[in-house]
Structure 1
Amino acid sequence: MSFFDQIESGVAARTPPAEEQPDFVVVDVETACARVSSICQIGIVGFRDGREILAYETLVDPRDEFSPFNVGIHGITAGHVEGGPTFSDIHATVAGHITGRLTVAHSGFDKGALAAACRIGDLAMIETTWLDSVRVAKRAWPELSSHRLNVLSRFLGIEHRHHDALSDARAAGMVIVKAIEHTGIDLQGWLAKPAKFQVSAPKPAAQGPLKGERIAILGEARDGVLAQFIAQAGGRIATTVGPRTTMLVISAKQPFGRWVTADALHRKAEALRDAGRPIAILTEQALRDRLGAMV
């Protein structure tokens, strides 16, 4: 029996004892088409003291079309939701899980989808306090060039089935748990609006073998060890890959493994190179070897 077959006829749910309520809940939805209101799957996970205590998941009949693009992403079809609950049917259950709580979502998409589904169904808006786990991840691990949930899951060692609502909710919740462990910032600290800050790249030396080069770094902060090394050799650290970038250096610390070519910075550099721009793409070790040979 397939995963979808197991939950077609109803919901998969695990609720905590009344005396053990979550510190925060996480919600994730999948949609059937470009209309954000077309929720076809929802997953909610609750965490207390860093552990999962609540899980709720169901397929949803969005009463809307299923576009091939969206189906290609999550694999849910009209046949999977036929005879299942509509959003109106589950509205009270969803509201019961997240109303008045701290609710995490990975980006603002899920918040917008719930609001749109409530409007379309002429249902009461669900009132909750939202926390964006993308924003949390960017503050906790600024050295990463991507904070997509699948990238974070690989980096943090989180088991994850991408574009499954329950698995996505569970993974986003673990991002919050690990960010708290990594930084020492608690939930209230993450809710507080952070002071604006700018990571300053080291100034390039006046002379050196990399003088005149504008170098972007993939997988490490702009003020990290690799940036210091490049600046000492006269290279200027670029904020991102652009037309004036002459080199993309892949840090030895980059977390993407063999998926590094799928990273946004790498794709930009390849596109510029394919367009005839003189941009080099090399590893940190290759750069260090090249400079060592020049000394």
Structure 2
Amino acid sequence: MFRSEPPQYADDTRDADTIPDFVVIDVETACSRVSSICQIGIVGFRDGRIAFEYESLIDPRDRFSSFNTRIHGIAAEHVIGQPSFADVHAVVDRHLAGRLTVAHSYFDKGALAAACRVHDRAAIDTTWLDSVRVAKRAWPELPSHKLNVVSRHLGIPLRHHDALSDARAAGMIVVRAIEHTGITLAEWSAPPPSRQRAPAPPPAGGGPLQGQRIAILGQPRDGPLAHRIAAAGGRVMSGVGSTTTILVVVGDEPFGYVRYDAGFRKAEELRRAGLAIRIVSDRQFVDELAAAG
């Protein structure tokens, strides 16, 4: 099922025809630690076509959980004799550094950064584009923008949770989105226009959240959840600080890659320091708020 050696791939530094417009990366992990990369797939796209591919199993130097193995099928015995992330870091850096890198959600970005830290390797300097964001804008009518859902909708072949197949599919989603919307790759990859930060709604004079100072991760502080918090007497904070009592994480239960967000890390650091900060999903928070009446 898995290759014992990485396959051959085009050396895009030699042939101008294979220098990619963008590259795509997907990783699989051995356990809940996102640094535990056990497979990497990288695909380069040029003019809407695949220019090169790279794939390798990785010895994560970490344990394998049965949960993760059930998802991707990779177990400890598959990575015996395979390179560590430190061994392939130079190859990954050569393909990504200085380029536009696509990943389907920012899980792969967080995993790559974590693996660089754990294996004492330099961070990879690349510009990231989230193909989930691309898919949401291109096909807003879909009930979900998970990789398998969007791929099925577009008829893109996919062997889900195989890193190389996932990378191919995420790249094709970007190609199809360009064709479907007419939005160029440069426009997709441009940073969103800056806008003046809207103020948070003022807290009501009373309610079940009176006295609570609440930060929201994943939604602006003038969004619908912020207004609901304010109506219940809570104060919406601009970020996580020592006076924050609750951090609400929107749409990422059980948190996953968001654990590498600076606000999330700050909340965990403050909790370890003894401050009473709760970290809850938006679903749990709304349920508790409804129960409080």
Do both proteins adopt the same fold according to a TM-score greater than 0.5, normalized to the shorter chain? yes
Q: What is the aligned counterpart of 2:78 among 70, 80, 84?
A: 80
Q: What is the aligned counterpart of 1:145 among 138, 143, 151?
A: 143
1:153-203 per-position Cα deviation (integer Å, ceiling 9, x unaligned): 11000000000000000000000000000000011111224469xxxxxxx
- Structure 2 partner of 1:91: 89
Structure 1 segment 100-249 matched on structure 2, within 5 A: 100-194=98-192
Instruction: Give the Cα separation in 2 of the matches to 1:132 and 1:149.
Output: 12
* Partner SS for 1:11: coil
Instruction: Give the Cα separation in 2 of the matches to 1:108 and 1:13.
Output: 27
- The residue type equivalent to 1:86 in the other structure is S
Give the deviation of 1:18 after TM superposition.
2.0
* Partner SS for 1:37: coil
Q: What is the aligned counterpart of 1:23 among 13, 21, 24?
A: 21
Instruction: Give the Cα separation in 1 of the matches to 2:99 and 2:190.
Output: 16
* Partner SS for 1:52: strand
1:107-128 per-position Cα deviation (integer Å, ceiling 9, x unaligned): 0000000100000011011000
* Partner SS for 1:158: coil
Instruction: Give the Cα separation in 2 of the matches to 1:12 and 1:132.
Output: 26
- The residue type equivalent to 1:13 in the other structure is Q
* Partner SS for 1:12: coil
Instruction: Give the Cα separation in 2 of the matches to 1:195 and 1:138.
Output: 18
Is residue 57 of structure 1 aligned with residue 52 of structure 2?
no
Instruction: Give the Cα separation in 1 of the matches to 2:175 and 2:82.
Output: 33
The number of residue pairs the alignment matches comes to 191
* Partner SS for 1:80: helix
- Structure 2 partner of 1:39: 37
* Partner SS for 1:36: coil
* Partner SS for 1:159: coil
- The residue type equivalent to 2:147 in the other structure is L
Gaps of at least 5 residues in structure 2 are 195-293
- The residue type equivalent to 1:134 in the other structure is V
CA distance 1:193–1:161, shift in 2 (3 Å): same
* Partner SS for 2:7: strand
1:67-111 per-position Cα deviation (integer Å, ceiling 9, x unaligned): 000000000000000111000000000100110000000000000
- The residue type equivalent to 1:14 in the other structure is Y
- Name which one, 1 or 2, has greater alpha-carbon Rg: 1
- Structure 2 partner of 1:13: 8
CA distance 1:194–1:142, shift in 2 (3 Å): farther
* 4+ runs deviating over 4 angstroms: none
Instruction: Give the Cα separation in 2 of the matches to 1:49 and 1:155.
Output: 22
1:202-254 per-position Cα deviation (integer Å, ceiling 9, x unaligned): xxxxxxxxxxxxxxxxxxxxxxxxxxxxxxxxxxxxxxxxxxxxxxxxxxxxx
Instruction: Give the Cα separation in 2 of the matches to 1:28 and 1:38.
Output: 13
- The residue type equivalent to 2:16 in the other structure is E
* Partner SS for 1:160: coil
- The residue type equivalent to 2:28 in the other structure is E
Instruction: Give the Cα separation in 2 of the matches to 1:123 and 1:95.
Output: 10
- The residue type equivalent to 1:146 in the other structure is S
- Structure 2 partner of 1:226: none
- The residue type equivalent to 2:104 in the other structure is H
Instruction: Give the Cα separation in 2 of the matches to 1:182 and 1:87.
Output: 37
- Superposition TM-score, scaled by structure 2 size: 0.64
